[in-house]
Chains A and B, each alone.
Chain A
């Protein structure tokens, strides 16, 4: 019997007078049962075409299939009776709360890494968790990445038989093993452990022909910081995005951080979660629905952060903010940029990018990592190979970090990463302005 994923919680509930419906999102089944992301209230909502019964049947159907599908729950607003109350949460706290809620929800989730417990986290992301959950679930490790990454993957291997309830059915099924969250103090140190991430975590489900899932999350800050020099500033989005079997996620704001981390923890697959140190302290407004403890964002779905008509800017992580800033400046000159926040590096949401390019006819990708064999390179190649190519009015262009190891001196460091002026310059070049 293959291990299966049992959906948690009721398929429908209420929050503050608003009725929410759980819609099953099977990864393998060809039918698209309302795959929409949650955006701000103003981005328009649409009714699900399913009735309640159909959605319940969809849930049961998908978990009765083999454990290939991760049933992620997507919230959809049925009607808005009350406007959502906004709470200011910075990215660090969003990650902290997401982990706290998932630790509370599922006993099999645990966190290990350097200084995560008694020190409250090197960047304070795991503040308060050790006090609340104790030594068993929040584990301080020695400075031995290869070792503890391997230990984390091994812990994720062990599955057990459990008795669970789904609505009116009592089921006996395998549940995937423990659900470790393995923190790397920065992703630079993951190079010491990369064999465990790729060879032991990413490839195992394939090599075992589906017998051994690895429900693990690797997380930590990625990319450039401020003044930490060459060995501590590399972006690993392209490295990990290269590998089948891994899901690679790169949140930008607090909503992304919260929803995607929860989704990653609930996902039965190894997920590489690339945070950004410079975003940790940045606050964002979060609506009530985002603050709900079952709020998750789908992995593999990009979000259009800003609608536009003249050019598409595709980015991930901190550079999304730069794109929005550049778009604001360009709007004054009459150029309306559509900004797409990738949210996930692998699987890449090519459809959203294609739809946008087919609308605007121009594409610029923006990333902090190095240009050669990078995220932008992949996006450009895919657009070329797909239907959107015929809609391009100019070659697609990448804005990237400079192709050098990160220098230490401030003036050099500032010139090593893409700046807002680089984005504006590139947009104008592409639009022939």
Chain B
């Protein structure tokens, strides 16, 4: 797309210049549907017509460089569409008269932010995959790539003063909830700079108003209701988003939680991230009813396209408004997909085909979808997004470097953090003569 390739003949130059101007340049305040030509475009057309008339035969290169400078000049950010409205998929409703709106407005800043965050999650997960295969990360590692739109979209619908809890596929949420890539990766490699000082690992990361990262399937849902109870108790107008997967959706404790949170009108949003597979078991093989958004029975539910960050955001906003109005819980099912297997020990192809994964990747990838939307509505340029990609890549590389070079936690830390706010006490080691100390 660069206009600086000048090694072809005049006709080629003309075509190249014309191609540059295939991109629409909008002006501030106008919706994207209108295509119109600003002054710079008119200038370019004059140049082109001059060239075609052959009057520029002698100074073709000059023409092109003139055109090039114009192109560069017109690529100022002031010319991007600042805001655009998109049609989003209708959601399925359960016990609701109306659902979230059918359109979503995205500003340029939001778009770039979502793009950057989703790309960061994607690259971070792929880096974790790499480090795991190099045996620098060990134990469990459940990767989130493919599902980025869920984490980013949900965060777009709530604020950092709201609360969130999820299961073990938690790296993306740790990031959106305020963790840094450095801390997350150092936790995965078990170093003292990790977000849990190396003591928790992949499944046990915590930040403010983010309660992990939980290893036992389904257990996080009642915990989330407890957080919601506290919010209601304290009267702080906050809510709790409690996430679980399609595998966990059959857990009894979730139904117990539905009952109590409805009874007590707790400000909780139940979100089922349905990525079609519970480890190796598909939804048809594990659930008598796969309409997870209806499984709350008396709890209103919506089923949302979880690969579209705008859909997720609008649905979350809708659900948050429902909760904050005191109506009690609401259930959201996000239909999404994970590219990796269940964890790093699962190749992910024994229970589904590579074609299926490839199809989702090519047709519904959340990052591509957002990118296409932004580019085709001139909300960002390809270069800009590429720059973001490069910056993200660098951030991940730096974080990985930190994560592999940071030292492991000190042995003094072995017994610390057993009890809170307590005097230091003695802990029995492996033998009666091994006396260790626990500090709070």
Residues of A within 8 A of B (CB): 114-115, 118-119, 122, 140, 142-144, 146-147, 188-189, 191-192, 225-232, 371-372, 397-405, 407-412, 415-419, 422, 425-426, 429
Contact A143 B200 (CB under 8 A): no
From A115, A401, A408, contact of B139 by CB (8 A): A408
CB B219 to nearest CB in A, in angstroms, measures 8
Write out the residue numbers on chain A whose beta carbons fall within 8 Å of the beta carbon of B156: none
On chain B, the residues within 8 Å of A114 by CB distance are 279, 281
Residue of A nearest to B279 (CB): A115
Binding site for A on B (CB under 8 A): 138-140, 187, 190-191, 194, 196, 198-204, 214-219, 247-248, 250-252, 278-281, 285-287, 350-351, 408-409, 411, 413-415, 418, 427-434, 436, 438
In Å, the complex CA distance between A429 and B431 comes to 10
A146 touches B252 (CB 8 A): yes
Decide if the interface of chain A is mainly helix, strand, loop or mixed.
Answer: loop
CB closest residue in chain B, given A421: B430
Pair A410/B138 contact, Cβ less than 8 Å:
yes
Minimal Cβ-Cβ distance residue in A for B198: A409
B109 vs chain A, min Cβ distance (A)? 37
**Structural contact, A412 and B409, CB atoms closer than 8 A:** yes
Q: In whole Å, how far is A127's beta carbon from the nearest beta carbon of chain B?
A: 12
Q: Shortest Cβ distance from B207 into chain A, in angstroms?
A: 17
- Taking the closest CB of chain B, its distance from the CB of A366, in whole angstroms, is 9
Q: Which residues of B contact A122 (CB under 8 A)?
A: 279
Shortest distance between the CB of B349 and any CB in chain A (Å):
12
B252 lies within 8 A of A229 (CB) = no
CB closest chain-A residue, reference B436: A402
Give the contacting residue for A229; candidates B215, B350, B408; CB below 8 A: B215
Question: How far is it, in angstroms, between the C-alpha of A143 and the C-alpha of B438 when the chains are bound?
Answer: 36
Whether A231 contacts B428 by the Cβ 8 Å rule is no
Chain B positions within 8 Å of A230 at CB level: 200, 204
Most chain B CB atoms below 10 A, which of A122, A142, A189, A415: A142
**B252 touching A144, Cβ below 8 Å:** yes
B430/A419 in contact, CB under 8 A = yes
In the complex with contacts A228-B139, A415-B414, A142-B281 CB distance below 8 A: yes
State in angstroms the CA–CA spacing of A43 and B59 once bound together: 102
Q: How far apart are the CA atoms of A422 and B430 in the complex, in Å?
A: 7
Q: Is the CB of B414 within 8 A of A422?
A: no
Query: Which of B198, B247, B281 gathers most chain A CB within 10 Å?
Result: B281
Contact B278 A402 (CB under 8 A): no
Closest residue to A398 on the B side, CB-wise?
B432
Q: Give Cα distance in the complex from A124 to B218, angstroms.
A: 24
**Max chain A CB contacts within 10 Å: which of B191, B285, B408, B431?**
B431
Contact A231 B203 (CB under 8 A): yes
A118-B351 in contact (CB<8A):
yes
Best-buried of B190, B219, B250 by chain A (most CB within 10 Å): B190
Known: A140-B285, A188-B216. A229 touches B203 (CB 8 A): yes
Contacts of B411 in A (CB 8 A): 411-412, 415
Nearest Cβ on chain B to A372's Cβ, whole angstroms:
8
- B280-A229 in contact (CB<8A): no
Per the bound structure, the CA–CA distance linking A225 and B350 in Å amounts to: 25
Q: Are A402 and B191 in contact (CB under 8 A)?
A: no
Give the distance in Å from the alpha carbon of A429 to the alpha carbon of B434 in the complex.
12
Q: Given B138, B199, B216, B251, which contacts A144 in the complex, CB threshold below 8 Å?
A: B251
Tell me if A402 and B427 are in contact (CB < 8 A): yes
Interface contact A192-B250, CB-CB below 8 Å: no
Bound Cα distance A418, B429 (Å): 9
Residue pair B199, A409 in contact (C-beta under 8 Å): yes
Which residues of A sit under 8 angstroms from B287, Cβ to Cβ?
A: 142
User: Are B139 and A227 in contact, with the CB atoms below 8 A?
Assistant: yes
Nearest CB of B to A255, in Å: 28
Residue pairs across A and B with Cβ atoms less than 8 A apart, 20 shown, are: A143-B218, A143-B251, A143-B286, A192-B219, A226-B139, A227-B138, A229-B215, A231-B216, A232-B215, A399-B430, A402-B428, A403-B415, A403-B427, A403-B429, A404-B415, A407-B199, A408-B187, A409-B198, A412-B411, A412-B414
Closest A-chain residue to B433, C-beta based?
A429
Q: Which of B200, B250, B427, B430 has the most A CB atoms < 10 Å from its CB?
A: B430
Q: Which residues of A contact B199 (CB under 8 A)?
A: 407-409, 412
Residues of chain B contacted by A192 (CB below 8 angstroms): 216, 219
A398 CA / B428 CA spacing, docked (Å): 11
| A400 contacts B428, C-beta separation under 8 Å | yes
Complex Cα distance A229/B285, Å? 30
Instruction: Name the residue of chain B whose CB is nearest to the CB of A415.
Output: B414
Q: How far apart are the CA atoms of A154 and B23 in the complex, in Å?
A: 69
Alpha-carbon separation in the docked complex, A232 to B415 (Å): 18
Query: Which residues of chain B come closer than 8 Å to A229, judged between CB atoms?
Result: 139-140, 200-204, 215
Q: In the complex the two chains form, what is the Cα distance from A116 to B414 in whole Å?
A: 36
Q: How far is the CA of A192 from the CA of B350 in the complex (A)?
A: 28
Q: Which of A142, A231, A415, A419 is in CB contact (< 8 Å) with B247?
A: A142
Min distance, Cβ B13 to any Cβ of chain A, angstroms: 60
Given known pairs A418-B430, A422-B431, A429-B433, the reply for A402 and B200 (CB within 8 Å) is no
Q: Kindly report which residue of chain B lies nearest to residue A119, judged by CB atoms.
A: B280
Q: Which of A140, A147, A409, A417 has the most CB of B within 10 A?
A: A409
- How distant is the Cα of A182 from the Cα of B418 in the complex, in angstroms? 34
The answer, among A408, A419, A426, for a CB contact under 8 Å with B204, is A408
